[in-house]
Amino acid sequence: MDVARALARRRMVRSFDGTPVDPDMLDGLCATALWAPTAGNCAGVRMHTVYGAARPEFFARATDVAWRARSPRYAGLSRAGAIVVVTSRPQDYGARYGEADKRASGLETLDAWPVPYWHGDAAMATMALLLLLEESGWSATLWGDFGRAAGLLAWLGATDETLFASVLVGRDDHGDRRSASLDRAVPARRDRVSRVGMPPDAPPR
């Protein structure tokens, strides 16, 4: 599958049929996704994969009893065959940008970063994983579960990492209800691209 096709086909799927995901396959896709660009070659992104009996434990930490009781999506999401928790290590970025060739950036201290590149790196690796899953015939959704990050990271044994998001992976059971987000009126993709410094009718270089 070419990249443009994978991008166009990929959609979030929020209801799975419970099919298990092969750990070697998914761990391999995660490692491949980590070819994604990384600021200053910090390599500060981590992916924690969750399989089998550990999946309910993930949901127990990422959500609370009240949410699980009221969410119409919980049952479908909980049938994900695997979960990838994507994190990063901000301290690696501070250390790297304090090295001789980067020190002039003034970014040795984390709160000096106007754009936290550790989240940027995590997003790039996550997108790469979503495309690899699409190519491999798996469905997925990206889940922002940072509200309970501390407990989740403690369970993962990753208290020195920062949570980015989780990717729930599985086979689509087509039981999802349409996301309200998709019904928002948003600018067309082409209208979000603007060309600067060339006459509008000049061919792109």
Ligand X SMILES: Cc1cc2nc3c(=O)[nH]c(=O)nc-3n(C[C@H](O)[C@H](O)[C@H](O)COP(=O)(O)O)c2cc1C
Please tell me the distance from the alpha carbon of residue 118 to that of residue 137, in angstroms, as a whole number.
Answer: 29
Q: What are the distances in angstroms from CA 117 to CA 22, 121, 144?
A: 31, 6, 18
Q: How far is CA 72 from the centre of its chain?
A: 23
Beta bridge partners of 47: 86
Scanning 25-33, 54-62, 103-111, 142-150 for contacts with ligand X by CB under 6 A, the matching segment is 142-150
Footprint (CB under 6 A) of ligand X, residues 36-75: none
Pattern 91-130, binding to ligand X, x per CB under 6 A? ----------------------------------------
156 CB-contact burial (10 Å; exposed 0-12 / middle 13-18 / buried 19+): middle
* Selected range binding ligand X among 11-19, 32-40, 60-68, 151-159, rule: CB under 6 A: 11-19
Work out how close the CB of 105 gets to ligand X at its nearest, in angstroms, rounded to a whole number.
26
The encoded tokens of residue 205 equal 């270089």
Among 41, 159, 181, 194, binds ligand X (CB under 6 A): 181
Q: Which of 38, 88, 141, 162 binds ligand X (CB under 6 A)?
A: 141
Tokens 């049929």 locate to 17
Which residues contact ligand X (rule: CB under 6 A)? 11-12, 14, 141-144, 165, 179, 181-182
